[in-house]
Amino acid sequence: MVSVTPTPAPGSGSAPRRVALLTLGCARNEVDSEELAARLDAGGWQVSTDADGADVVLVNTCGFVEKAKQDSIDTLLAAADTGAKVVAAGCMAERYGRELAASLPEAQAVLGFDDYTDIAARLDGVLAGETFDAHVPRDRRELLPLTPVQRPAAKVVVPGHATVDEHTPAHLRQVLRRRLDDGPVASLKLASGCDRRCAFCAIPAFRGAFVSRDPQELLAEAEWLARSGVRELVLVSENSTSYGKDLGDPRALEKLLPQLAAVDGIVRVRASYLQPAETRPGLVEVIATTPGVAPYFDLSFQHSSEPLLRRMRRFGSTERFLDLLDSARELDMQAGARSNFIVGFPGETRTDVAELERFLTAARLDAIGVFDYSDEDGTEAAGMSGKVRSETVKRRYDRIVALADELCAQRAEDRLGSTVEVLVDSVADGVVEGRAAHQAPEVDGSTTLVADDVSGGDLTALCPGDLVRAKVVATEGVDLVAEPVEMVSAAVSAR
């Protein structure tokens, strides 16, 4: 498999056209940006992530919650201050379309997902002074068949799912992706969209119904990433536990994980975005026991009070969630687990908060994200009664965050004296930073490698991508400090 080769654009004999591609939000957006980068590269654009000197700044926005939307607006305004032409794309642009364009005259264009296939031509037009009418947002779930198994044949633009030649077997297709960094970790998009109807979430409306990618295409892309120096794959989607349901195989993820772990050069595969209600025993076993697959459970609990979960249009309870965690730890007692929680959802009572505290105390999670509830346009929860007063939400949020910080620090201390396998992310100024199997990139803390006091050791010999076995000797909050014991797998290409 090869990556897309750039082809000169008309008039390319003149000064090169430069675009800065700025990405906000989640890892799924990062994969989408790398598809856009490949398309722009093939269209004759010079692509970077630095706005300095760019002709156009393309911002791949996030539209998940209010803070993310504000970050997107701030980034677009800052881009306009550079003097470059500014284009908004991504989730916020897709979600708000004309409304965003009308409120943000600083942007020369607001592009939706349907523009991605012609992104180079769109930016050519922007640079030439053309104007584009922003789209009227629509529920993208309506673009795909209701029956999941009919969706793979539908001709709908789904970011991160682009196929260069659909008539070529999946494992022989070109990879429509250009990496925007050279780190040892990369996200691999399993699927897009979501069929769940959580009352607080607007994502399905602008991301669409759930669509899996072909497993052979994923394996081929994993091999391509490995050849570029990637050592850890992070599998991303809106709901990874649904992977394969539209391919007629609900156990597809269980089968795919060992295959990805066997790709030459890949030393760790990490699954993320698991729905507790769909996390079957077979999947738990594969994640917890397969060599090369991180025993790591990124479970979307959101709360643990059963009545409140029902109100959220979700399923589960404190006891069910604890049973799920126990089933993983019975297979690997050091298995990592993280989750996010919403505080202040409409109808939440003090009893609900106490139940959440009970769960968090018993769950022994390695990382906990806490969000204070806010109404989101177009969601069921926005119209619900029983709104919690803002001052009460803040008080509960502060209380749960403080508890979470304390519990996660305690969980890190539980790992003192244990042996962990650390993937080195960076080596700078004598400081070696990496992550153990229970630490996902950017969200779960990190591990600093230090030389032991007796034998010392040249840590500067380590390179990004090395996998090192190390003994945990100290903790700093959720972060670990560990002494290398032996090299498990060296990143040969880095030497």
For the chain, report the end-to-end CA distance as a whole number of angstroms.
24
Tokens for 363, please give them: 């769950």
- Known binding residues for [4Fe-4S] cluster are 26, 62, 91, 194, 198, 201
Tokens for 87, please give them: 């284009």
Neighbouring CB atoms inside 10 A of 350's CB total 9
Question: 471, 419 in Cβ contact below 8 A?
Answer: yes
- Tell which residue, 299, 363, 297, has the closest CA to residue 336: 297
The neighbouring-strand residues paired with 482 are 449, 472
- Radius of gyration of the chain from Cα atoms? 23
- Known binding residues are 26, 62, 91, 194, 198, 201
Alpha carbons 429 and 407: distance in angstroms, whole number: 32
For 90, list phi and psi in degrees, rounded to 5: 85, -165
What is the three-state SS of 238-253?
Answer: CCHHHCCHHHCCCCHH
Question: 62, 91 in Cβ contact below 8 A?
Answer: yes
Alpha carbons 446 and 437: distance in angstroms, whole number: 10
For helices 350-363 and 318-331, what crossing angle results, to 10°? Answer: 10
Question: 440, 234 in Cβ contact below 8 A?
Answer: yes
207: left (phi over 0), alpha (psi -120 to 50) or beta: alpha
Q: Pairing relation of β-strands 431-435 and 447-449?
A: antiparallel
